[in-house]
Structure 1
Amino acid sequence: MGALSELTDPSAIANTADEFKVLGRDAFLAKHGQQPSVRYFAAVNGMLIDSKPLLAVAYGYQHPARGPLSSRLFSGGEETRKALKRFGIELTSIASEPPARMYGEIPDCPPGTAFRDRREAFEAGVHRTTQAGIAGQAGGTQSICLSDGYSDDEIQGDLITYTGFGGRDANTGRHIADQRLEKGNLGLVENYKLGRPVRVLVKESVLTARKANTEYIYLGLFTVTTWGWGKRDGWKVLIYQLRAVAGESLIPDEVATALTRGEDVTPPRRSAHANRIIRNYDVAASVKRLYDNTCQMCGTRLITAVGPYSEGAHIRPLGIPHNGPDTLENILCLCPNCHVLFDGHALTVRQDSTVMNLGRPTGKLRVVEAHGLNYDHLAYQEQFSTASSGRAAGSQ
């Protein structure tokens, strides 16, 4: 049982339970730097207490010179159950309906949350499949899981190089066919196009190179920065690069170092009082559908190897000081060139839909009735653009 065998004092458990009751769950976990349990809890005096934090903090009560026991030094499964049983405490499994398929962060599962196995991560909603490495569809991917045995996947600093699914022999792991740009593979490309984040789950052994480490660590949100084709065993494979989202994820290299040393995973630095912009990625998808990925300014419709490509461009920028809404009335469907020129304050739109390029008329903005475009946002962008470039509004 290792370090847990040194936890023998029932009063340490009682004191921990009393502190949990007085502080409340959130404050208790925050004070001791513990991660919340997802499914397994200890039933103590009519309360359900997060099982591993209970034992870790109780260890510190019994051995104050050492402090709380690192939760990395014992498992949340049978080892925790046996330790609690010595104090007459039962380990309770909270079976809950798994969250619906969703993008972005999962409530009550911050980066650094550890799961006993893939099933537990599935039930928490972090990775909604117990077998596949990609949880996603052609329209978008919600999460990926890095497991050992996939030598193609690499971690370097805050970057992850990830190989798509398919084309492997289940027994040897070698590629025996080309991978296809479909389902979750195509979904990762859609995430790249929309800037939509992906949750990343990783088996601990991938980080520590120790086969005995079988838990799974949720690293948080990552964005797909590039994608393309490569070759493995003579077959075509899809290769993606993902970067950790600052404040919303852990850096894999740092997690690997902590786990190898037997330390707790440090949560990402983020303020509980910070205002964060939550993008509604369905808005960008909607405006693209309205215009069939055709630029509203120049009429360009780009066709790539995975189909048509366009970009959703916010008119009044999100966040301080502009505080533009993330709604359909404040977004345009543009080609990459026009998007860059629009964000770079070269392109503006007049009230009569005339598109201006550095003050010179260059065409008309196409607007369908279903768009519901708010021209006040375009007027704001024009005023902001002409002011920032030193040009007077209406100059020729």
Structure 2
Amino acid sequence: MGAEAGETCTTAALCMYDLSYRPTSLPRMGLGDIRHEHVIAATEEFRRLGREEFLRTYGFGRARSYQLVLDGRRYDSKAIAGVAHGYATGDFLSAADFSGGAATVARCLRELGFVVETGAPSDNRAGLLARLRQLRVSRGPGNPAPSRHQPLSLLWAMARAADDRPRLTPWPTFRDEVGPLLVEFGLPNAKATPEYPFWHLQGSELWEVRGIPAELAMRMPNVGLFNEHHPQAGFTAETADLLCDPVTRLEAIATICETYLGDIDRQALFSRIGLSGYTTAGGPLTPWAEEPGGADTDEYGRSAGPAPRREATRSVIVRDEALARKVKELEDDRCQVCDTALRYLNRPYSEAAHIRGLGSPHHGPDELQNLLCLCANCHVLFDGLEIYVDTEGLVRGTRGDRAPRPLRRAPGHPIDEAHVAYHRDLCNLNARKPAAS
């Protein structure tokens, strides 16, 4: 093997371990360099990062016509091909570097043995929400309230979707995780029977069960057959694809809660079910403050030494500091809610607050249209869903204990109303009474 070939292999190997490395000396190659293992590596990174972050990282939009289907999951085919090309050659292609379509991306992936479907799945968000409102829930004798088994099971599955976990779950896992939820949050005196939602959610047309022989699937199998065959169940591929969109997922969660779980403590439910990210506008709060431990104290409770330290490793989102400075400059470091201008160390102090949080599960964009300039106090209230902006541009309290006042907007500071609506929906979801009409 010549020096040039050895250098190319070394470069490709570097890219496998350092995705920030982008060589500029390699010639642009066609999609013919991609192999099956390169596509698999790209899909694994897609799942690890999540769809929105994957597309944003590599400069792609959502697929409109062709989607790669693998193990029940859907992937944006052109983005997968561009990243797979990077794994193959070290040259990561962006959307502008090549054309997609039947003759290029779809053909390449199909020749490698992958399934590529023509036409994006139905984007019928309204249809999804309508089916959620029309679940065929049972009613026990003497109890007119609808059973919570199916709604709780769907929320549990949505938590898995938000966490980017496999959409199909084996029966033993479903039984062991959903069963206790039905005891804790189901109707009083209702028997916990996870096998019923596992099977009967198929009637919603949003759910499927695999692994039960056809001759046994004419009627609901008994628990013994579930234990024997270990079937899997979860959202259909189309439903799972719709729920990948954070806005749709929030609307779906809100629909279930408002339709079937109106009197449940939602913060307690979300914390228990894995949806605690929906109790704040910025994602889950750090649990460090609740961890045990502290400095030794004397008999009077005074510290007997310096505060203890612990080593910690965490992953943080890298924000665009230029955008934060921009919104502060536009608003002259004055809070857009209360008009306060703070100073700290003899300098103006304000905070750039994202309307729709950057992290999971909200996946908001880091852009000027998604930023407000707030004081520290209003920032905490906004992220804690204590205040929101109504459809008229007035800031209100979710508890109804604040006089409304206009959200001040400086000229040249665009705000995307879709992000404001998302935050308002979060407030509605967590409020005892709807925060906005």
Range into which the TM-score falls when normalised by the shorter chain: 0.3 to 0.5
More helix by share: 2
Normalised by the length of structure 1, the TM-score is 0.32
Normalised by the length of structure 2, the TM-score is 0.30
More strand by share: 1
